[in-house]
C-alpha cells in the first residue's frame, strides 16, 4: 500500500483548484484530518500493476454474463499495458465452452474501501474508454468483500450509451440508479465517486461524470463493510445478446483511490 499524506484541508484546496467539488463528512473538521493516497500511477509498468492489483474477480474467473476472466502476473493475453499509464482489457469470442462465449479480463485492487470512524471519506476515480455495443458490459465498481450488499457501480454500460451509477442498498432496501446518456463512451471520460460517512451505519455517495456532479445516493449499512474495487469487461448477460463477433477493448488510466484519516 502506497500512502501519500497531507491534511484534508490541503487536499480539498487542490481538488477545488482542479474544478472538483469536494464534500466533507458532516461533523468533521477537514483541517484536522489527514488525506492519504492509496492508489495512483499503478498502470506505469507490469511491476506496478501487479503490486497494486490482483487478476480475475476476487471470487474466481466468472460472474454473471458469458465471459471467463483470463489473467495473472505472467499471463497478459487479456489484461495488459499497451503503453505506460494505460491498462487495457481485451475480450474475444470463443466456442465449444458451454455458457462461456468469451474470454476477457478483470482486475481487483489490493487496497479496499472501508468507511469507518477512522476513514470517514473516500475518493475513487478513473478515466475510461468503454465499449457500449450490444453484448458488452464494462464496469468499474466496488462491492462487499465479506458480505453483499454493499455495492456501488461507478461505471457500468449495459449494451448502449447509458452509464448506470448504481447503489445497493439504499435506505429503503432497494437500488438507487442514476442513468446518464454519454456521448461516445469509447472516447476518454472520467468517472468518480466521493463517499462520506453520514452516521453510524450509512454513507452518502456522490457520482460524477467528466467532473460534473450527476447524483447523490444514500448507501445504507456501508459503514464498517470492506469493499473490493473491480475493473472488468463482462459480456452479454444484462447487456443483451448475441454479443460482438470480433474483439472488444476496454481501456483505463489515472485510476486513483484516496481517503481521509480523522
* Catalytic site includes residue 156: yes
Instruction: Fill in the DSSP letter of residue 57.
Output: B
Cα 113 → chain centroid: 11
Contact predicate 108/58, CB 8 Å? yes
**Residue 17 neighbours by CB distance under 10 Å:** 8
55/77 Cα distance (integer angstroms)? 12
If you search the block for the grid coordinates 501519500, which residue do you land on? Answer: 4
- The residues, any chain, with a CB within 8 Å of residue 148's CB and separated by 6 or more, are none
* Catalytic site includes residue 123: no
**Residue 174 neighbours by CB distance under 10 Å:** 11
If you search the block for the grid coordinates 487536499, which residue do you land on? Answer: 11
Contact predicate 214/194, CB 8 Å? no
Catalytic residue chosen out of the listed positions 36, 52, 103, 156: 156
Cα 115 → chain centroid: 16
- The residues, any chain, with a CB within 8 Å of residue 27's CB and separated by 6 or more, are none
Give the active site residues.
Answer: 151, 156
Amino acid at each position: 500500500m502506497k500512502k501519500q499524506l497531507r491534511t484534508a484541508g490541503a487536499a480539498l484546496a487542490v481538488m477545488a483548484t482542479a474544478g472538483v467539488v469536494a464534500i466533507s463528512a458532516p461533523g468533521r473538521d477537514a483541517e484536522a484530518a489527514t488525506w492519504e493516497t492509496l492508489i495512483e500511477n499503478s498502470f506505469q509498468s507490469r511491476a506496478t500493476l501487479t503490486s497494486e492489483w490482483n487478476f480475475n474477480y476476487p471470487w474466481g474467473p466468472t460472474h454473471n454474463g458469458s465471459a471467463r476472466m483470463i489473467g495473472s502476473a505472467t499471463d497478459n493475453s487479456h489484461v495488459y499495458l499497451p503503453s505506460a499509464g494505460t491498462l487495457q482489457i481485451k475480450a474475444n469470442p470463443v466456442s465449444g465452452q458451454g455458457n462461456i462465449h468469451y474470454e476477457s479480463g478483470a482486475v481487483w485492487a489490493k487496497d479496499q474501501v472501508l468507511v469507518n470512524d477512522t476513514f470517514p471519506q473516500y475518493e475513487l476515480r478513473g478515466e475510461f474508454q468503454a465499449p457500449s455495443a450490444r453484448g458488452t458490459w464494462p464496469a468499474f465498481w466496488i462491492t462487499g468483500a465479506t458480505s453483499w450488499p454493499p455495492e456501488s457501480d461507478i461505471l457500468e454500460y449495459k449494451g448502449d450509451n447509458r452509464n448506470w451509477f448504481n447503489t445497493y442498498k439504499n435506505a429503503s432496501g432497494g437500488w438507487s440508479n442514476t442513468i446518464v446518456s454519454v456521448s461516445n463512451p469509447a472516447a476518454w471520460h472520467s468517472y468518480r465517486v466521493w463517499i462520506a460517512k453520514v452516521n453510524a451505519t450509512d454513507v452518502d455517495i456522490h457520482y460524477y461524470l467528466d467532473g460534473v456532479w450527476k447524483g447523490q445516493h444514500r448507501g445504507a449499512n456501508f459503514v464498517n463493510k470492506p469493499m473490493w474495487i473491480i475493473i472488468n469487461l463482462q459480456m452479454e448477460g444484462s447487456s443483451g445478446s448475441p454479443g460482438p463477433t470480433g474483439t472488444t477493448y476496454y481501456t483505463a488510466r489515472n485510476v486513483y483511490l484516496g481517503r481521509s484519516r480523522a
